[in-house]
Amino acid sequence: MRVLGISGSLRRDSHNTSLLLTAAEALPQDAELVVFDGLRALPHYDQDEDVAPAHPAVQTLRDAIEEADVVLFATPEYNGTIPGVLKNAIDWASRPRGEAALLNKPVSVVGASPGMYGAVWAQADLRKALGVAGARVVGDELPFAEAHEGIDAEPLTEHLAALLAEAAPVAA
């Protein structure tokens, strides 16, 4: 089972990228998590530029999502919502309508922050954006507050099990 992990943070020492790495350790042996690292290369979404062939960075994102059985998003909270770079990625992955990479893809959302709330507002906004984009959003928000003190893998186990249970293996 292939899990694609997408962190909404570009920061080198990102709590959310660390959260994805912790999730990788919490997965069952028959599953692997691959962290997508191409958000920085995506151009800003522009429908006029959404043509075939797709920009190479866009095609890389779309392919990574299509090749995954499920996608785990980890989001920080910037000004009470999701980072622009993450919203931009969702916009690209939600097109073309009717055959988008995110269409009916099982996804779930977690979030980490150094504050007391674990990016819950951003998680709610991300879940909404993913649902509108056509993804099949699994589970509830899973906040990791005060992430600078460390991330406990235990709450991830049940969250990941629910996500993996929704997977329909993708043909190779």
DSSP for 3-58 reads EEEEES---TT-HHHHHHHHHHHHS-TT-EEEEE--GGGPPPP-GGG--SSPPHHH
In a domain, 127, yes or no: yes
Sign of the dihedral defined by the CA atoms of residues 152, 153, 157, 163, in that order: positive
The mean pLDDT value of the chain amounts to: 93
Q: Are 101 and 131 in contact (CB under 8 A)?
A: no
In a domain, 171, yes or no: no
- Confidence band of 149 (pLDDT split at 50, 70, 90): confident
In a domain, 135, yes or no: yes
In a domain, 26, yes or no: yes
Output the pTM of the full model. Answer: 0.94
- Confidence band of 168 (pLDDT split at 50, 70, 90): low
Task: Decide if pLDDT at 80 tops 70.
Answer: yes
d(CA 30, CA 16): 23
Collapsed DSSP state (helix, strand, coil) of residue 86: helix
In a domain, 153, yes or no: yes
Task: Decide if pLDDT at 170 tops 60.
Answer: no
Q: Are 50 and 36 in contact (CB under 8 A)?
A: no
The residues, ordered by sequence, that sit 6+ positions from 159 with a Cβ below 8 Å of its Cβ are 108, 110, 139, 142
In a domain, 86, yes or no: yes
The CATH number given to whatever domain includes residue 126 is: 3.40.50.360
Take residue 2 and report the two structure tokens written for it.
């292939």
* Span 56-75, pLDDT tens digits: 999 999 999 999 999 999 99
- Confidence band of 132 (pLDDT split at 50, 70, 90): very high
In a domain, 172, yes or no: no
Domain count within the chain: 1
Domain that holds residue 28: 2-165
